[in-house]
Amino acid sequence: MRKSVKYYDLERVISRTKRDFGTIKRGTEDDYYSELYILEKNLLSLYQKNRKLTGHDLRESIQIALLTINGYLSDIDYDFSAVFNEKNVVLTETLLMSFDPFSRTEIMDRIKDNYSLDTIKARKEYFARPVRCLLRIEQSIALWTEEWGTHGYFEYIEHHLDQIAGLENVHFFIPVKIN
């Protein structure tokens, strides 16, 4: 089924996704360190090339990415043409290319022996960790935008990620399969 997306749909996806997947609990962020680092490093790289990107643009992109994942779980083909713009298209692609096997064939090739994404249950299991990371980033955007303004989130990750080393050449992640 194909469904046109409106801004109203974007606003609703955060709360619905939190209910369906849960969030990263305070104090357990370290369990998601690698995934968050890769997502934020990729976002920072994009921001450093285009300083006009804002927290609002990224929040919209997270909403689009979450709806894209929702489409995988509900067999809905979302049409984002009414909400896409030049900023959120690039940000959404950057987010999804960090973990989404349907967007990045290299990931699909690496997971095909360990994951079967043929069922909704298997897809939900696969996307649980990336979804929680997106929700955590969305929370951080709200915090750092309030603290430091429109570019607050990007300024925060720029300051903090420059001090961390270890995964510089990694551009995507595969969620760990828990049996």
Radius of gyration of the chain from its Cα atoms, rounded to whole angstroms: 16
User: Does pLDDT of 22 surpass 50?
Assistant: yes
Which residue, 77, 78, 65, is CA-closest to 135?
65
Tell me what percent of the residues of the chain surpass a pLDDT of 90.
81
How many domains does one find in the chain? 1
Q: Residue 166 falls within a domain, yes or no?
A: no
* 177 in a structural domain: no
CA distance 47 to 57: 11
**At residue 72, does pLDDT exceed 60?**
yes
Give a yes or no: residue 21 inside a domain.
no
In Å, what is the CA distance from 62 to each residue of 39, 56, 134? 11, 10, 6
Summarised one tens digit per residue, pLDDT across range 86-127 is: 999 999 999 999 999 999 999 999 998 888 899 999 999 999
pTM equals 0.91
Question: Considering the domain boundaries, does residue 90 fall inside one?
Answer: yes
